[in-house]
Structure 1
Amino acid sequence: MKIPISRLDSSKLTDQQMTDLLFGNIKDDNKSGDCIFVAGSSKAVEYRLPPAVQLYQDGRAEKILFSGGVVWDGSGLTEAQMLADKAIELGVPAQDILMENQSLHTKENVLASLLVLDRAFYLHRISRLLVVTSHYHMRRINLTLRTYMPDWIDYSLCPVNDKSTREDNWFLNPYGRQRVEAESAKLISYVKQGIIMDQELEISGMN
């Protein structure tokens, strides 16, 4: 049965329930949009950038927005700048790249991107964004977008897998488990605090 995220207790979830919460029913609908929205991370250049560039090359959208202001040790560049520089190396024209390099976490990824998108397109003209982030992070960023972006914008969710935090293997290694347990707790907490909107999901073993 479907249950709201706000009714979940992160300390009592089974592995299957966490899988349902973070990965369940998230898949690309293959629709085209106005812009590809890429959330930065420490490994975004390695895992998130290639699929985003492929979406661009496939003609799914004419612009890519890289979002992220964190500067990771040793890089000297924001997440967005690192992604943009590499995208240009991979053949994306500079004029088709947008950057938001102020945000420090997921909510700010969305909020700080509003002005960038408005300046590039005018928000009232945007009908769909293609969202690129890690699969386990997609539920939270999707709900954050739906909470803070205008409600006429639709989203195509284009989840990306890394090596250790996939739907089929996160529970087999300590790193994947730590990330999924932390993400589950964060998602539930933010919903309960009203920071992001609630959503009813099919969660195994709930009644």
Structure 2
Amino acid sequence: MYISQLSEADLTDERMADLLFKGIEDDQKSGDCIFVVGSSKALQYRLPKAVELYQQGRAGKLLFSGGMRWEEGGLPEALTLKNEAIALGVPETDILIEDGSLNTLENVVASLLVLDRAFHLYAIKRLLVVTTSYHMRRLHLTLKTYMPKWIEFTLCQANDTNTNKNNWFLTEKGRRRVRTECLKLIKYVKQGALVDLDLGDL
């Protein structure tokens, strides 16, 4: 069944688990750049995963994307992530930032120019993608929709405390977050904003 064929009534626990988590795993490949999108908890969950990948030598550059400011007078997400990465030992010369985007689609589209200036898009073969596990499907489909078709993606999920494939169904917060994310995916695919996906291929 394709995402475009789903409705809210189809969202059983099994279907939601498949939609968000099935088939998403790190293939252990290295790439040109580690692509990290911001969130209110990105410092807590996404940054450590990204720095770990960098320290393992899986890619030589980090790109932090995000322009949201989570407190009045605060820095954009990308700059906050950059500063903390430097504090964790990542050289500033290995960090790229995109600090204007305000959502997942903008993260991807706004990062195209940054990536082109740093690498030339035609030269990029693979990005290591970092986000929380429940958000990875939407980010991956957004990348597949808007990034050049020759770029491949290694999905490096960062597990938060209550919304990963092993525990999302245990709390009301996890259930609500997963259901909301599934409904967004269905909506965006039906709008044509994201490429469709056959869940049977996962």
Listed as ranges, the matches of 1:2-21 within 5 Å are: 3-21=1-19
Change (3 A) 1:75 1:134: farther
**Counterpart contact for 1:20–1:202, Cα < 8 Å:** no
CA distance in structure 2 between the aligned counterparts of 1:91 and 1:101, rounded to whole angstroms? 21
Which TM-score applies when normalising by structure 2? 0.97
1:30 aligned onto 2:31:
no
Distance (whole Å) between structure 2 residues aligned to residue 75 and residue 26 of structure 1: 36
The answer for the alignment partner of 1:118 in structure 2 is: 116
Gapped regions of structure 1 (runs ≥ 5): none
Query: Are 2:48 and 1:39 equivalent residues in the alignment?
Result: no
Alignment partners' CA distance in 2, 1:196 and 1:5: 10
The answer to which of 155-164 and 170-179 deviates more is 170-179
Question: SS state of the match for residue 195, structure 1?
Answer: coil
- For 1:196, give the aligned amino acid: L
- Report whether the alignment pairs 1:91 with 2:89: yes
Deviations 1:63-121 (A, max 9, x none): 00000000002561111111100000000000000000000000000000000000000
4+ residue runs over 6 A deviation = none
Equivalent pairs counted in the alignment come to 201
* 129-138 vs 4-13, which moves further: 4-13
Corresponding position of 1:190? 188
User: Quick one: percent identity of the two aligned structures?
Assistant: 61
Q: Which amino acid in structure 2 is aligned with residue 150 of structure 1?
A: P
One-letter identity of the residue aligned with 1:22: L
Q: Using the alignment, how far apart are the partners of 2:72 and 2:163 within structure 1? A: 24
Letter of the 1:119 counterpart: R
For normalisation by structure 1, the TM-score amounts to 0.95
Distance across 2 between alignment mates of 1:34 and 1:22: 26
Question: Matched residues in 2 for 1:68 and 1:202: separation?
Answer: 33
Aligned equivalents of 1:21, 1:32: Cα separation in 2: 26
* Conserved 8 A contact 1:136-1:165: yes
Alignment of 1:31-180 (within 5 A): 31-74=29-72, 76-180=74-178
Q: Distance in 2 between matches of 1:175 and 1:78?
A: 26
- Any idea what the Cα deviations from partners look like across 1:165-201, whole Å, max 9, x if unmatched? 0111111112111110110000010000000100111
* Structure 1 vs Structure 2 CA RMSD: 1.1
User: Conserved in 2, the CA contact under 8 Å of 1:34 and 1:127?
Assistant: yes
Deviation at 1:11, TM superposition (A): 3.5
